[in-house]
Copies of this chain bind each other. A is one copy, B any other.
Amino acid sequence: MIRQPDDASLGGELTGGEEALIEEFWAPLAVGHAGAWGLKDDAATIAVPPGDELVVTTDALIAGVHFFPDEDPFSVGWKALAVNVSDLVAKAAAPLAYVMNIALPASVTREWLSRFAQGLEAAQGAFGCRLIGGDTDRTPGPLSASITAFGTTPAGGMLSRSGARAGDRVYVTGTIGDATLGLALRRDPQSGARWGCTPEAATYLAGRLSRPRPPLAIVTALRACASAGMDISDGLMKDFSRLCRASGAGGRIEAGRVPLSDAARAAIEAGAMPAELLAGGEDYEVLACVPGPRAATFEAMAAESGIRVTCIGSIEERESGIGAFDSDGARLHFPRMGWDHFA
């Protein structure tokens, strides 16, 4: 810690000491997990039930990179956890707990932090996990929140990217492309008028970007039926390509079968960019491969759990390559295949 605690450039409104910050904003999020030690110790404990193993994933949100600096802090808190839970769910893990490193610039107010904590609390309530530890720092840079999330699966039960085999069906949960449209609307609010978006549709699309809701209830069906899975965060086509490559397989997606929300369908009919929806990021839905003989069971279990699943394609032999095709069987081309901050 090379800065003096009283360095003015790290000043700001939050001056009660780190322990007071923890007590006010974070400790309430830890109630109910004994191993969190009330966030008063230096570490947390996780007791993994016998026969289970722990699944760990980590993802950060940085202001100006992953969210707009003027985003509602409730949404930032919600999304910081949701993007991690999305990975757990797609790996067939039941969320259990998380730790958070948050770095705060001097401009952060008590009100901002309070809203952020409310978003986090709402998300952990929705996803069934609790804060068990963390680290709150000052930063001269943008706000960032790094979460490491923990879930459990039966030992050996983590759903990998690499288990897909030729002949498997390819499913997605929910609908695809809403967040891409939500982002386009956020960047250019006029586009909503051009696409004939109703206010309700615009709100829906914005919410799909800012408050993703990973399909928690699909975990049981994934465990019972899936051969491979991952969440769709960097764009359906890019993530599908990754899954196929990891599985040493090819694959095809029938673009016309990709499920769209009513809002997305209406926007496309009014001229929104259809191809980009398959390549845009931030869906936070699950991409799952299911061997043919288990497909009916998978669909039935998904229906029972209230999660919409749609078969959008198939896993092929490696030689077939990886692609998306329109209803005439013509290969679609994408200006870019999804998000990569270092491409």
A47 to B17: give the CA distance in the assembly, Å.
37
* B interface footprint on A29-44 (CB within 8 Å = 1, 0 otherwise): 0000001010011111
Interface-facing stretch out of A49-57, A120-128, A251-259: A49-57
Contacts of A211 in B (CB 8 A): none
Contacts of A21 in B (CB 8 A): 342
A229 nearest in chain B by CB position: B42
Stoichiometry (number of copies): 2
Contact (Cβ within 8 A) A40 B161 = yes
Contact (Cβ within 8 A) B62 A53 = no
* B interface footprint on A1-13 (CB within 8 Å = 1, 0 otherwise): 1110110001000
The minimal Cβ–Cβ distance linking A340 to chain B, given in whole angstroms, is 5
Interface-facing stretch out of A83-91, A190-198, A289-297, A314-322: A83-91
Asked if A158 is an interface residue, CB under 8 A from chain B, the answer is yes
Contact (Cβ within 8 A) A44 B57 = yes
A136 nearest in chain B by CB position: B342
Contact (Cβ within 8 A) A87 B3 = no
Contact of A148 among B58, B136, B246 (CB under 8 A): B58
Asked if A18 is an interface residue, CB under 8 A from chain B, the answer is yes
The minimal Cβ–Cβ distance linking A210 to chain B, given in whole angstroms, is 11
Q: A5-B343, A341-B10, A343-B5 are in contact. Are A43 and B56 (CB under 8 A)?
A: yes
The minimal Cβ–Cβ distance linking A116 to chain B, given in whole angstroms, is 16
Residues 128 to 174 of chain A near chain B (Cβ within 8 Å): 132-142, 144, 146, 148, 150, 153, 155, 158, 160-162
